[in-house]
Structure 1
């Protein structure tokens, strides 16, 4: 979340804390990011690895496909034909509760 809120240093600190726990003590070298976009890519890549088989990919695909930098088109080859299995449509977006909109001032998702 730090990364998305443009707090690159905090995001990289959190990422390095997570990664350090996977390596033998003293063998891990901290990752750095050149800018916010680089930090976001590294955090998202690690999130994809860390949350495998937990059903988070679908949520990430819906959320990230709004941003052209992270949009993914999932295509499968079935009987020799390429089938587009996934395309973001507004009906797939969750609506925010009115209380959250009133308190935070965020925009409601379009449906």
Structure 2
């Protein structure tokens, strides 16, 4: 079960929406309905560990850089993985870095890629 879309105020005070877009296999950041960032994934069955969500790439539009939006997008995505009873495989360098920075928060769900 996915989390509902969530509003977030960025570092400049603008309200953006974070949502899951399963038909595109990604999580999205929207500003007034326009996609300004995304975290792409693919779902695969794990090797005995359960279904896994493999995070491949995270990007925020350059015009929105420096507003603290990438961590908001990743935190929402990983919270959604937990709510969906999946495991996390962080191929994306940004997602991997975020997980290391927030050690302990999702350790029980992470399958580090080989």
- TM-score category, normalised to shorter length: under 0.3
The TM-score normalised by the length of structure 1 is: 0.28
**Comparing both chains, which one has the higher relative contact order based on Cα–Cα distances under 8 Å and sequence gaps of 6 or more?**
2
> Higher helix fraction: Structure 1 or Structure 2?
1
The TM-score normalised by the length of structure 2 is: 0.27
